[in-house]
A and B are shown apart, each in its own frame.
Chain A
Amino acid sequence: QKEVEQNSGPLSVPEGAIASLNCTYSDRGSQSFFWYRQYSGKSPELIMFIYSNGDKEDGRFTAQLNKASQYVSLLIRDSQPSDSATYLCAVRGPSGNTPLVFGKGTRLSVIA
């Protein structure tokens, strides 16, 4: 069974600090990796996707992928109170016609 593991948190960081969110996955066939942000009572919102080993940066967000270790991470620099949300890691097979497998999410709290 395909599994995606995340620490449920809460992860508390002070405003302006770097938040580091981690995710491991069991299926070595996974090809695409996504980070979604979900505010309480809202639907998941895509932040970043990555499918090559290494780092991918977008503004304050950096996604890191290590397929050999089956590990994905998301770094949020200069964390803001508005970043407080649940962050969902999702993995998928090689094409868009396969479903996403989600972790349970990590709850992030940025303290002003």
Chain B
Amino acid sequence: GAGVSQSPRYKVAKRGQDVALRCDPISGHVSLFWYQQALGQGPEFLTYFQNEAQLDKSGLPSDRFFAERPEGSVSTLKIQRTQQEDSAVYLCASTLNQWLKRETQYFGPGTRLLVL
């Protein structure tokens, strides 16, 4: 079956530009997570959705970052007035059943953002 998909795969933005990154989770997956992975680092949590509800946004680094999942499936991560420190790979992951201890997160291919 289809996995998690993300678009665009690569994005080059000029400093100050707004960008929107899209995530299509695995069909039927309730939970959706966004992570940011800087070069040479592990992924770091940004935000989490359960269906359309954003239950945790504690990892968003600033108010320039905004995420939504209005219909409980596709999610968009928006970054306003991009800065060079926003350059990273943005990973989306989804989970079917959020209540199980063994439940694993399946990652999309990521969007590689470069801010010049």
Contact = CB atoms under 8 A, between A and B. Distances in A.
Contacts of B43: 44, 88, 100, 102
Contacts of B108: 43
A42 B109 contact: yes
Nearest to B103: A96
How big is chain A's contact interface, by range?
20 to 34
Given A34-B104, A49-B104, A104-B40, A97 B45 contact: no
Contacts of A99: 33, 35, 45, 48, 56, 59
Contact of B107 (A43, A51, A95): A43
Contacts of A49: 102, 104
A45 interface: yes
B40 A96 contact: no
Interface in B42-71: 42-45, 48, 50, 55-56, 59
Given A96-B31, A97-B99, A102 B107 contact: no
B57 to A, nearest CB: 11
Given A43-B107, A44-B91, A45-B107, A95 B100 contact: yes
Most buried by B among A45, A88, A97: A97
B98 A100 contact: no
Given A44-B91, A44-B107, A97-B50, A32 B45 contact: no
Nearest to B109: A43
Contact of A97 (B59, B98, B109, B110): B98
B95 interface: yes
Contact of A31 (B40, B42, B45, B101): B101
A43 to B, nearest CB: 4
B105 interface: yes
Interface of A: 4, 8, 31-32, 34, 36, 42-46, 49, 51, 88, 90, 94-97, 99-105
Given A4-B42, A100-B105, 8 more contacts: A46-B104, A95-B101, A96-B31, A96-B97, A96-B100, A97-B98, A103-B42, A105-B41
